[in-house]
Amino acid sequence: QAVLTQPSSLSASPGAAARLTCTLRSGINVGTYRIYWYQQKPGSPPQFLLRYKSDSDKQEASGVPSRFSGSKDASANAGILLISGLQSEDEADYYCMIWHSSGWVFGGGTKLTVL
């Protein structure tokens, strides 16, 4: 079982909200991890969006719109990236990442389609 699992795709309408999940493998407690989120558009490197551990331990990258926010769902053992007021420019691949067992681990990525 992968350390981080993300849905392969998600579709949402312009103006709506998209909730992207990053589920940690059973036995790995989401509460102890900083979850990092990245956005990648075709032909470009990933861009750091934000990291979230708790409301008192979080950071958004400079220039990232406030429409992007992080949270956790402890009951699902998952990190959440919420994108509100979806715009066409938000269409991209989104990756989560954690520091686990002395290395960085990425989720498989979610392709977000805005239609």
Partner 1 sequence: QVHLVQSGTEMKKPGSSVKVSCKTSGTTFSSYALNWVRQAPGQGLEWIGGINPIFGEGNYAQKFQGRVTITADEATSTAYMELKTLTFDDTAVYYCAGGVVGAGLDSWGLGTLVTVSS
Binding site residues, partner 1, CB under 8 A: 34, 36, 38, 40, 45-48, 51, 61, 95, 97, 99, 102-109
Alpha-carbon gap, residue 36 to 52, rounded angstroms: 7
Closer residue to partner 1 in complex, CB, 8/13: 8
Minimum distance from CB of 39 to partner 1 (Å)? 11
Q: How far is the CB of 14 from partner 1 (least distance, A)?
A: 26
How many Cβ atoms are within 10 Å of 37's Cβ, its own excluded?
A: 28
- Distance (Å, rounded) from C-alpha 43 to C-alpha 65? 22
